[in-house]
Amino acid sequence: MWEMLPVFLEVCPNLKTLVVGTSENYLRVDLTVIARPWNLLSSLEHVDVERPLKGEALEMSLVGYLLENSPNLKKLSLSLHDSLKKGESVHKLTLSLDDAPKKGESDIFIELLNFPRFSRSCQIIVR
């Protein structure tokens, strides 16, 4: 799905609202998709991320990209995964050396607040 997002955004230069669906499979995409230099998303005003965030790298990269490259963004709506709200870890215990550190709800809030925003009036709504 994410492979098509840059193409979709390029052919929809007047897009005002983007709703990111709830597919469980979208996080299996390589992070290089987000690194592609897209044009500014100058018409985008509202983004709704339906799938609850777990604080994973691809999720946060997408949110950061949208905030940094949308000069007219008014509202970004998202929710956090239930396991974060209860203070539980969303990562299974493994012995892999490349596991991401576990994030809690407050870590994600801090990361969201620290993302540079092109739009000074953008509100981040956490449901």
Rounded CA separation 73/63 (Å): 12
Q: Which residue has the higher pLDDT, 67 or 39?
A: 67
63-74 average pLDDT score: 91
- 69 falls in which pLDDT band (50, 70, 90)? confident
User: What is the structure's pLDDT at 88?
Assistant: 43
The pLDDT of residue 106 = 83
Domain boundaries, the chain: 2-86+102-126
pLDDT tens per residue, range 110-125: 898 899 999 999 999 9
pLDDT at 53 over 50: yes
